[in-house]
A and B are shown apart, each in its own frame.
Chain A
Amino acid sequence: MKQEIGLLVVFLLVFLYDTFMPKKALNATAGFTCGLFAIFTLMGFGALMLDSDVTAFAGMYQTSAIITTIKNILNVGVLIVLVQSCRWANSDFTSVRRGEFYELLLVTLFGIYLMISARHFLLFIIGLEAASLPLAAMVAFDKKHYESHEAAVKYILTAVFSSAVFMMGLSFVYALSGSLYFADIYVALGSQPSVMLVVAIAFVIAGMGFKLSLVPFHLWTADVYQGAPTSVTSYLSVISKGSAAFAFLVIMAQVFGTFYSQVWEWMLYAVIILTITVGNLFAIRQLNMKRFLAFSSISQAGYIMLGVIAMNQTGVASLMYYILVYIFSNLAAFGVIQAIENKTGYVKMDDYNGLYKTNPRLSVTMMLAMFSLAGIPPFAGFFSKFFIFTGAIQQGSVAIYVLVLIALINTIVSLYYYLLVVKAMFINPDECKIPTFASAWTERLGMWVCVAGIILLGIVSCFYNTLLEMSLQSSILASL
């Protein structure tokens, strides 16, 4: 509960600052928000020491050490996004509305918190909507760009549609069980699946699939990622996706855990294979860096889902660790894209040819991000991929070996397109379209943090060890 209250306080302070401060002081809104949020993030880690299991609102809301931790992980990601977006927020065109940007962002984060902590579907829906709808306004933030509007419309339509599908599934569940509490539903459903339940589970997977951009529910992703302002894209790709993955895990374990092998294991198999393969194959053909990362993030979502299908403690820990590493790797990539876009407006992969000659640091950052996303040691991505596969295989069936083998073969495809970016920067004949420039210190700070994360998160073992210890003690899978 402390984190939600803290976030509300941050939100109110930013809101009041933005509304009542004189015009001159508004230039500091970005700094004010970042500073406030940094303090809040630190306090989140403090809350980890104090917060034991808390239940509120008649059991609708629950938090525990592991849930506080996933919120902290997301906070770190949001903080990096905020720092990286400072320059964009202060640019001439956006600065009049930067207050709204921060407020909307904090509201979505609040929704995400509720979504993660909800143990009752009503609260979950409130969180889901609060996390989705303001994002549409954020996607449309670049008023003068036509693509931004188009993206926003696409986003809001799919978001609403997916919520509708999700709630359709819930209504079936309610009809079967007569309750919206996770625990009650779990008991009421018994152990024999009915046809209605199968349909309900399919609808729930589809509804969450939109949010996670799993194939075949991914069609909005590329256009929205491309059209949205890059800061919003990076927020969408890591925070929104990471939180949805964890919430999905919680629902599947605590509500439908009984029907794992009977019903939804096979649905997820199909979805994972499709997601990883389609995401990878489409990423190969992309020329726009943001579209490219959109498809890369689709396939990454498929790998994250391996942590759900594992349904064991290693899987939970690996999923959280994967999200953590993915936040750092993807934000490093988006940081570079953003720095270049802000300075020169280039976002095509061809424009990156010969980048190493003009901007060696940016290209090394980008290379590390690509290596980490592809799972190359000694960078963190290797460890997160290895552990998520280890978690999945712990499940032990022959089918899971086949699934992991398909996922592994797909990592080769993904390595190919990640190397295309490296090739453009280091090997391709240099037209040097992008001149040498110095990025803003905020952008540099964001990238430095990401690079440190990429290098240290893997080699320093305490991060994963802590997560695994925590997940061994947690009750997330207790109902299984």
Chain B
Amino acid sequence: MFSNILIYFVVIPVVMLGLLAICQNIKQIRAVAVTGSIALMALSTYVLLEYLALRAAGDTSEMLFMGSWEWFVPLHINLAVGVDGVSIAMLILSSIIVFAGSFASWNIDQPKEFFLWLILLSTGVFGFFITIDMFTMFMFYEVALIPMYLLIGVWGSGRKEYSAMKLTLMLMGGSAFLMLGLIGIYYHSAPEGGQLTWNLLEIAKNDAISTGWQYFLFPMTFVGFGVLGAMFPFHTWSPDGHASAPTAVSMLHAGVLMKLGGYGCFRVAMYLMPQAANDLAWIFLILTGISVVYGAFSACVQTDLKYINAYSSVSHCGLVLFAILMLNTTAMTGAIMQMLSHGLMTALFFALIGMIYGRTHTRDIRQMGGLMKIMPFLAVCYMIAGFASLGLPGLSGFVAEMTIFVGSFENSDMFHRVLTIVACCSIVITAVYILRVVGKLLLGPVQDEHHRQLTDASWWERVSTVTLIVSVAAIGCFPNFFANLIRFTFDPSFFRALGL
């Protein structure tokens, strides 16, 4: 079991949990968190390089580093792992954000409990991305959700109890639909008399789910994951949840957890039920289209920095689902790029907002101004994040959104074209709210004289932000590298199944 490299994505966090439980003081806790997240980063880099080497050597199998161990034998539940380019991209994203998040919560209260929950959350996240067995996947998915309740409830700010409960119940509500969908898929996973299975690859190969059942199970799974992907009208947990969460949790949640939704939609719902995906895509395209535009408009009128960014996340994550539903290679590649880009950029935003809030004790943009003079480092970082968000070439946002819209426009019928154009408008709206914040918050006169005494970023905050900025720029400057990484997933066979 331990000869498989992927299993260490779960083993390392579990070991970290054990070590954290016996830590005595904050120094040890920091040491464990930093060492562990560096180990995870190293591991994901190694897997990336190994993966590329194997691909270069001509390995064309669907998933690499596959492994499977029996768990609940009579029900055919295995602990099955395997990754392709998309999963690796997500693993890298997660490890970067866990690393940055550990630095961003350097001086948190009750550090031991905080890091225990945070690492439990990341155990769920990493586990989710490496498994290809639906049961295990669902289990890790829920492991990643529940720590949010206490992380927001205990360490959050504002209406934290309300937000924590709302977030947990809505996400768990999504997973209720998801559970029914997954069990339903299991019982239709093989042709009559065949061996039932939870394994994604085998189910896809069997292709035994009848069209009628697909029409029932596809919405179940898509909505189930879509709730976490902040699909309209199930996005309402996101603004409140993100606004109340502590910094590192906002980073991890918006950066990684929301990607679980998009990843799940594509990996389970679309991949296993292509027929229904093709026929029902229009419903969800309209819903996600609303997310994209509505999220952007909502962000324009908010005055709380975190709310602005949370609504912007709704808009950007909506774009991920929107692109996935466009059902062609270019758009799907764009969707994965957008996941990476939004994950890093939004984590950067939330980190910076947390740092600013920690100094000014307000997140209302009307009460702040001229921060560029007071804390130039943070202000410049904030500007870079803003530019990435509104799609400045050279940064990640541009690459992702460009690919998505080019891909969407490839669908030549009226319906898709109109939707694409409507969604494109969100870029302009994004520019409006980003520039509004940048102008109000960073430039202009200093609003509060007390702010003049504030200090700039400390070294651990710099580590956190610089890591994220470098990653954002890397995607923006070398998009081809990432496009090649995920290319194999969307090979022609995937679309042939869709009837395209």
Contact = CB atoms under 8 A, between A and B. Distances in A.
Contacts of B160: 427
Contacts of A317: 74
A472 B73 CA distance: 13
Instruction: Among B71, B154, B179, find the residue whose CB has the most chain A CB atoms closer than 10 A.
Output: B179
Contact of B179 (A371, A389, A416, A464): A389
B407 to A, nearest CB: 35
Contacts of B479: none
A376 B173 contact: no
Nearest to A428: B161
Given A390-B186, A405-B180, A465 B72 contact: yes
Interface residues of B, number: 34
B176 A377 contact: no
B154 A427 contact: yes
Given A393-B187, A408-B176, A409-B176, A378 B143 contact: yes
Given A393-B187, A423-B161, A401 B75 contact: no
B400 to A, nearest CB: 32
Nearest to A378: B143
A385 to B, nearest CB: 9
B73 A423 contact: no
Nearest to B73: A465
A387 B75 contact: yes
B165 interface: yes
Contacts of A464: 72
Give chain A's interface secondary structure class. helix
Interface in A351-387: 371, 376-378, 382, 386-387
A10 interface: no
B179 A412 contact: no
A422 interface: yes
- For chain A, the bracket of interface size reads 20 to 34
B11 interface: no
A396 interface: yes
A166 to B, nearest CB: 34
Nearest to B196: A394
A300 interface: no
Nearest to B74: A468
A419 B161 contact: no
Contacts of A426: 150, 153-154
Given A382-B142, A387-B75, A415 B172 contact: yes
Interface string A403-416: 01100110110011
Contacts of B184: 393, 401
Given A386-B135, A389-B179, A427-B161, A422 B149 contact: yes
Interface string B322-366: 000000000000000000000000000000000000000000000
A422 B180 contact: no
Given A314-B75, A408-B177, A468-B75, A427 B187 contact: no
A465 to B, nearest CB: 6
B435 interface: no
Contact of B74 (A386, A415, A472): A472
Contacts of B384: none
A427 B150 CA distance: 8
Contacts of A419: 149, 165, 168
Contacts of A412: 169, 172-173, 176
Instruction: Among B150, B161, B184, find the residue whose CB has the most chain A CB atoms closer than 10 A.
Output: B150
A53 interface: no
B392 interface: no
Contacts of B176: 405, 408-409, 411-412
Nearest to B173: A412
A461 B72 contact: yes
B268 to A, nearest CB: 16
B49 interface: no
A184 interface: no
Contacts of B73: 461, 465
Contacts of A377: 139-140, 142-143
Interface in B11-49: none
A317 B73 CA distance: 13
Contact of B183 (A371, A389, A461): A389
A469 interface: yes
Contacts of A382: 139, 142
Contacts of A386: 135, 138, 179, 183
11 contacts: A376-B142, A377-B139, A393-B183, A404-B183, A408-B177, A408-B179, A412-B169, A415-B169, A422-B150, A461-B72, A461-B77
Given A427-B161, A468-B72, 14 more contacts: A390-B183, A393-B180, A393-B183, A396-B187, A401-B216, A405-B176, A408-B179, A408-B180, A411-B176, A412-B172, A412-B176, A419-B149, A422-B149, A426-B150
The 8 closest A-B pairs by CB, nearest first: A408-B176, A468-B74, A427-B153, A377-B139, A412-B173, A377-B142, A376-B146, A393-B183
